[in-house]
A = this chain, B = another copy of it.
Amino acid sequence: MSEAQREKHEAILDSAFEIFGKKGFYDTKISDITEHAGIAKGTMYLYFKSKEELFSAVTRRDWEGFLRELNYQIKHADGLPGKLQKIAEHHLVYYYERKAHTKLFFHAPNNDPELMRMMHGFLSRYMAAVQGVLEEAGMPDPDFYAKAYIGMLDRLKMDILFEGTFTREELEKRVRQTVCLFLQGSERELND
């Protein structure tokens, strides 16, 4: 693939990310994307096999970036609390930066087994990364703890996505609270 082709490939992905993120999979027409990219409808099919595959490619690029950055953050943080904090921060900031593209996560194609498999793979890699951190620290049952940690983060992202007024400061507070809850539990907060 030539340099020019690589650029067109990226341009299509950029447009698709924009439009899918704004209107969702089903409300997006191929022509919406190709017009936004300034190319003909047929051209998209030279680069991607189908609308579903284009959506998959958008998602894949996004997730690969997520995981690359995640692993970088984990590698450059020290200690379990430090690493957990970076993980939480990364998770929440990621969605904070994609507030305008929520439909990418909530209006995906409903019945594409290929996409399902891919998403499952990404979640596994995310899981594995967190599990690795916990194992390294000597945590037993890292599978359970990793899932629980990610679950917390995933629920907390909701406010970020759908509450227009959520600030970066509140986000940082959530990060600290989550790490603290995960490590020390909530009991110590109770009035005896």
Contact = CB atoms under 8 A, between A and B. Distances in A.
Nearest to A185: B185
Contact of A154 (B154, B174, B191): B154
Contacts of A31: none
A187 B184 contact: yes
Nearest to A23: B111
A155 B147 contact: yes
Given A26-B111, A27-B111, A184 B181 contact: no
Interface in A123-168: 134, 137-141, 144-145, 147-148, 150-156, 158-159
- Central interface residue in A26, A151, A153, A189, by most chain B CB within 10 Å: A151
One complex includes copies of this chain to the number of 4
A153 B24 CA distance: 27
Interface residues of A, number: 41
A101 interface: no
Interface of A: 24-27, 80, 106-107, 110-111, 134, 137-141, 144-145, 147-148, 150-156, 158-159, 174, 177-178, 181-187, 189-191
21 contacts: A24-B110, A26-B111, A107-B110, A110-B110, A137-B190, A138-B191, A139-B186, A144-B156, A145-B181, A147-B155, A147-B156, A148-B152, A148-B177, A150-B155, A151-B152, A151-B153, A151-B155, A154-B154, A182-B186, A184-B184, A185-B186
